[in-house]
């Protein structure tokens, strides 16, 4: 077996062994609207890792998406647990129940700069006002890391790319494809490509297909905006739903074995890269 296969296989064993412990969300985020969970005070940030999810206003709808709350909150909770299990990262925990201390953040919130990274889902529907554009630019220029996931097809990409052109001038900060020679592909787990992971609902309804927009999203893309030193500021996992591999890991063994190890490996690599560069 190759090094990558050995690493991903070992990850799968770890995930199976601890499967029950990860399901803090219990699936309830999928059946009723879960309210945002903003930080309560400065004390909410205790020096551990906090999963920060971007809250934004959607100007349109995408099939299968829910705007900022796509995959929330189970993806945020399950990934935080796995991140603590699979790495030496100290993940912040809630005092009352021990669940991961995850937060929802608006770009204009004073807590934004306490977040080690910011995840945006379904960003092909995102609309930012002038204050939010300025706040995101400030966050990125001060060393913030913005990861966007689960948006499909060329139209969603064009919408997001134009939004980012308002944040960072594309002549200076263009998107570039990130290939297998980049450090993200081997930060912890050896990867050869970005996996295409569909939502579990699409996967079931389509009989096992992975491209949610058919030929328009057949190829997953890993693209980035970097600073002058080549460090990634904005990372896009386009034509794939990495977060569903965490959110829905406990629902279907076949889905788990096919997608969750690669989904966790990708995310662990990305987050370790973000916090060490």
Q: Is the peptide bond before 157 cis (omega within 30 degrees of 0)?
A: no
Q: Read off the pLDDT of each residue in 203-222 and give the average, rounded to a whole number.
A: 98
Q: Read off the pLDDT of each residue in 224-241 and give the average, rounded to a whole number.
A: 97
- Band of pLDDT at residue 109, cut at 50, 70 and 90: very high
Let me know if residue 41 belongs to a domain: no
Of residues 87 and 16, the one with the higher pLDDT is 87
User: DSSP string covering 83-138, please?
Assistant: HHHHSS--B-B-TTT--B--EEEETTSTTGGG-S-EEEESGGGEE--HHHHHHHHH
Q: Read off the pLDDT of each residue in 78-82 and give the average, rounded to a whole number.
A: 97
Place of tokens 């050995």: 6
Whole-number Å distance between alpha carbons of 193 and 102: 29
Q: Where are the alpha helices (DSSP H) in the chain?
A: 3-17, 19-22, 74-86, 130-141, 153-167, 200-205, 244-247, 253-276
Residue 186 has pLDDT above 70, yes or no: yes
Q: How many domains does the chain have?
A: 1
Residue 64 has pLDDT above 70, yes or no: yes
Let me know if residue 37 belongs to a domain: no
Per-residue tokens: 70: 């796509």
Let me know if residue 34 belongs to a domain: no
Tell me the pTM. Answer: 0.89
> CB 159: neighbour CB atoms within 10 A?
19
pLDDT of residue 62: 87
Let me know if residue 96 belongs to a domain: yes
Domain that holds residue 64: 3-29+46-276
């Amino acid at each position: 077996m190759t090094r990558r296969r050995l690493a991903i296989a070992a990850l799968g064993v770890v995930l199976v062994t601890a499967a029950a412990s990860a399901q803090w969300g219990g699936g309830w985020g999928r059946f009723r609207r879960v309210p945002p969970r903003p930080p309560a005070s400065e004390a909410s940030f205790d020096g551990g890792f906090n999963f920060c999810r971007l809250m934004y206003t959607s100007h349109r709808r995408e099939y299968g998406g829910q705007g900022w709350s796509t995959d929330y909150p189970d993806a945020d909770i399950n990934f935080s647990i796995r991140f603590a299990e699979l790495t030496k990262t100290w993940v912040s925990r809630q005092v009352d129940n021990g669940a991961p201390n995850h937060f929802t953040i608006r770009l204009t919130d004073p807590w934004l700069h306490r977040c080690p990274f910011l995840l945006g889902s379904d960003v092909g529907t995102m609309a930012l006002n002038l204050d939010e554009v300025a706040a995101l630019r400030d966050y990125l220029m001060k060393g913030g890391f913005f990861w966007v996931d689960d948006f499909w097809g060329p139209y969603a990409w064009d919408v997001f790319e134009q939004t980012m052109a308002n944040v960072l001038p594309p002549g200076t900060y263009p998107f570039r494809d990130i290939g297998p020679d980049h450090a993200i592909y081997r930060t912890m787990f050896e990867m050869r490509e970005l996996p295409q992971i569909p939502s579990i609902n699409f996967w079931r309804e389509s009989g096992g297909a992975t491209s949610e927009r058919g030929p328009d999203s057949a190829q997953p893309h890993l693209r980035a905006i970097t600073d002058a030193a080549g460090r990634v500021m904005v990372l896009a996992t386009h034509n794939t739903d990495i977060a569903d591999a965490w959110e829905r890991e406990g629902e279907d063994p076949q889905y788990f074995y096919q997608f969750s190890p690669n989904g966790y490996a990708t995310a662990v690599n990305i987050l370790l890269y973000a916090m060490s560069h």
